[in-house]
Amino acid sequence: MFSLQVGSLLNVALILGTVLVSAALLIWVERRFLGFFNDRLGPNRVGPFGILQSVADVIKLITKEDWTPPFADKLTFVVAPIIIPIVMLLSFAMIPFAPDVGIIDMNIGLLFVMAMAGLASYSAMLGGLASNNKFSLLGGLRAAGQMISYEVFMGISILGVVILSDSFSLRGIVEAQADGWYVIPQFIGFIVFMVAALAESHRWPFDLPEGEAEIISGFNTEYSGMKFGLFFVGEYIGMLLMACLIPVLFFGGWHAPFGLGFGNPIVSGLFWMAVKVGAFVIFFILVRAALARPRYDQLMSYGWLVMLPLSLINLLITGAIVLSQGS
């Protein structure tokens, strides 16, 4: 039970703990890196290097007035922020971190993750609707539209990977990349997935549901205290999830590059996995620091007119090549 194998309690505890701590830490990491990208220092006051900033933030959020507007739909208003961290955490059950490290090795793992990501959109949508405020409503609508659109070709973009690995199991996909990462054959798929992942976790520059310049704070305008904190944490877990999915799908998961693996395959796997996840997290932060937010219509037209055809073409070509090789 406490042995290191997929599904063991130790694994569950370790992964859950790491994910939660990392998500919290991520808030600090993001703010510090944003600082560096902006030639600032970022939060460096609370604890060594400001590492306890998130703790201070949480204390602040918890001690804030937990206010529910009288005009809101009470039940939905409370439930909405709970959805997002739960579904995001559930998705982590599918992620294979290293050989023997993971929670479940499900043969439809990828589909499960997609399903969960789809559910996450309810959080923003319901939050926006329940607030009963026109800015929140606009934010909720934007979230729903954006996530549904980008989910479509997010799914299509990873079908190339599925075709190549012949598996929906994430662990199977990683293992199939032992002799070559899918980023090379599936470069277009990777690009599309990456953009979709940003949009799916509505991170900058696709943070239109919160676009504070136009709609105050979008779907979470009416939220305060820890309810807002849940949205916030949920988003960072989502970002971490996407940063985990990209290496798993396109960068060989725990496999070391150029045969740089060392010693115990689990330790080596965890190390390389962490390096890859870290790199993508920083890349996400860089994107936030560097790129400007598109208009909503631009976002939609890019989705449907560029990304969707691109991912379809990618799927077509991949399929054709695989078929031709298989025959």
Partner 1 sequence: MLKGLVHQVKIIWTQIVSLWLVFLHLFHKADTVEYPEVKPHTFPRWRGRIILTRDPDGEERCVACNLCAVACPVDCIALQKTEDEDGRWYPEFFRINFSRCIMCGFCEEACPTHAIQLTPDFEMAEYVRQDMVWEKEHMLIDGTGKYHDYNFYRVAGKAIGGKDKGEARNELPPTDRRSLLP
What residue ranges bind partner 1 (CB under 8 A)? 33, 35-41, 286-287, 289-291, 306
Q: How many residues does the chain have?
A: 327
Is the Cβ of residue 50 or residue 102 nearer to partner 1 in the bound state? 50
Is the Cβ of residue 306 or residue 317 nearer to partner 1 in the bound state? 306
Tokens found for residue 122: 């309810």
Is the Cβ of residue 41 or residue 275 nearer to partner 1 in the bound state? 41
Is the Cβ of residue 62 or residue 286 nearer to partner 1 in the bound state? 286
Is the Cβ of residue 72 or residue 310 nearer to partner 1 in the bound state? 310
Tokens found for residue 235: 């988003």
Closest approach of Cβ 279 to partner 1, in Å? 12
Is the Cβ of residue 33 or residue 181 nearer to partner 1 in the bound state? 33
Is the Cβ of residue 227 or residue 276 nearer to partner 1 in the bound state? 276
Closest by CA position to 235, among listed 96, 102, 87: 87
In the 3-class helix/strand/coil scheme, how is the chain assigned residue by residue?
CCCCCCCCHHHHHHHHHHHHHHHHHHHHHHHHHHHHHCCCCCCCCCCHHHCCHHHHHHHHHHHCCCCCCCCCCHHHHHHHHHHHHHHHHHHHCCCCCECCECCCCCCCHHHHHHHHHHHHHHHHHHHHHHCCCHHHHHHHHHHHHHHHHHHHHHHHHHHHHHHHHCCCCHHHHHHHCCCCCCCCCCHHHHHHHHHHHHHHCCCCCCCHHHCHHHHCCHHHCCCCHHHHHHHHHHHHHHHHHHHHHHHHHHCCCCCCHHHCCCCCHHHHHHHHHHHHHHHHHHHHHHHHHHCCCCCHHHHHHHHHHHHHHHHHHHHHHHHHHHHHHHC
Other residues' Cβ atoms within 10 Å of the Cβ of residue 19: 19
Closest approach of Cβ 205 to partner 1, in Å? 9
Closest approach of Cβ 289 to partner 1, in Å? 5
Closest approach of Cβ 66 to partner 1, in Å? 26
Closest approach of Cβ 99 to partner 1, in Å? 33
Closest approach of Cβ 64 to partner 1, in Å? 20
Closest approach of Cβ 44 to partner 1, in Å? 8
What are phi and psi for residue 66, nearest 5 degrees? -90, 95
Is the Cβ of residue 53 or residue 221 nearer to partner 1 in the bound state? 53
Closest approach of Cβ 306 to partner 1, in Å? 7
